[in-house]
Structure 1
């Protein structure tokens, strides 16, 4: 008997099954019965119990009725916030520079908004 392994037909890929929203809701509602388990409902409909558990998580329960996940309130709500700042932050910051001198140290207190002028002063002191 001569068997050529290369002439065998390739396996056919299984298509992923899709379920309607109404079907999912009926399965989730069937699982709400306290006398039935998720596994038994899944077995009756020939679907995986993990898939049913996912549908239960997706369709959250609210006051006994199952809601569509598109209508669930978000966990985070961004609120508009306007901070009233009287002056820019750079103008409120003061630099303190100590320049050593022979008898006493020279201390300079300078607003950061005037940095170019401070640079000119330090150049003049350095020369």
Structure 2
């Protein structure tokens, strides 16, 4: 059975990942405890060295059944905003993962520069959504 090309890991601390590993122009700081998909060899390396541990892919937040009557209390509004932010962050991470996989697939071809630009844009979108550390 072939080894998967990417694996999900969660870093134990906020850890920079080299740009060459994720196909970006600059190193990217990964948030502690947040699942991130990395190339299998690098994921194995950071887990072996104790910087991270393998984890499952993040699941989309369960928003539950829709209510007919809205509860507009401040607490509910904050929870909804947190869920919306988490969903946007998950979508942006998925976009980065997809763009990175596409870049790896077209490396060395005429489409590489366009794929690299798409990955850079996806990384910028993700960075804008991530909370400051």
TM-score range, shorter chain: under 0.3
Q: TM-score, normalised by structure 2?
A: 0.21
| Bigger relative CO (Cα 8 Å, ≥ 6 apart) | 2
Larger Rg: 1
Q: TM-score, normalised by structure 1?
A: 0.22
Q: Which has the higher helix share?
A: 2
